[in-house]
Structure 1
C-alpha cells in the first residue's frame, strides 16, 4: 500500500496531465484537485508506513480511495474515444478499487492495538 500510494502521489506532480484529464468535468480547479490528491496520497503512504500511525493511515487511505472513485468513473465514461486498451484499463479500474479499499481497511484493523 505504501509503495502504491507513494508512486501514485509522486506521479501526480511528475505527470499531472493524465490525472487532470480524469477529474470530472463538473469540478472546478482540476490542477489544484490533482495536486491536493497527490499530497493526500503521499500523506497516506507516510501514515501507513509508520507503525504508530498505520491504523489511521489505513482508514485515511480507504477514505481517499472512496473519494477518488468518481474520477475513475468519469475516466471510464469518457474513454469511448480512446484505444480499446485504454478503455479496458479504465473500466477494469472500477471493480479493482474495491479490493484496494478492503486492503486499506484491513491494514487499519490489523494495526489497532489489541485490547485485553
Structure 2
C-alpha cells in the first residue's frame, strides 16, 4: 500500500489533468503567446498530467512519474510567470496568489522527488 501523500499527489494530477478537458478556456487564457498550438498544448498537458498521476499510483512506474512530474512543473514555470506579468492571463487572481503559485511549483517538485 502506498503512503497517503502519494495517493493525494496522484489524485491531484489526475483531477487537474481532467480539468484541461472540462475547462479548456481557462488554460487557453494563461498560455503565453510564444507557445505554439495553444489548444493542442492544453489537451496534451492535460493528458500528460493524468498519465503521470496514474503512473504515480502504480509502484512499478512511480519513479518515472516522479521524474515526469518534476520536469512538467519546470515546463509550467513560464506559464506562471506569464500569468504574473500579463493582466489578461491572471484570471483575476490577486497578485499574492500568482506569486505563491511559483514556489508552489517547486514544492510539488520536491514532493514528487520522494517517489523517485
TM > 0.5: yes
Task: Specify every segment of 5 or more residues in structure 1 that has no aligned partner in the other structure, as ranges.
Answer: 109-116
**TM superposition shift of 1:107:** 1.6
1:2-45 residue CA offsets vs partner (Å, 9 max, x unmatched): 01101110000000111111111112211111001001101100
Q: 1:73 aligns with which of 73, 81, 93?
A: 81
Structure 1: how far apart are the matches of 2:91 and 2:100? 14
Q: How does 1:84-99 map to 2 (within 5 A)?
A: 85-99=93-107
Tell me which structure has the larger Cα radius of gyration: 1
CA gap of 1:48–1:27, structure 2 versus 1, over 3 A, is: same
Match of 1:33 in 2: 41
Normalised to the residue count of structure 2, the TM-score between the two structures is 0.84
**TM superposition shift of 1:57:** 0.8
CA gap of 1:33–1:81, structure 2 versus 1, over 3 A, is: closer
Structure 2: how far apart are the matches of 1:104 and 1:81? 27
Task: Specify every segment of 5 or more residues in structure 2 that has no aligned partner in the other structure, as ranges.
Answer: 1-8
Please report the RMSD computed on the Cα atoms of aligned residues, expressed in angstroms: 1.9
Match of 1:113 in 2: none
Aligned length: 108
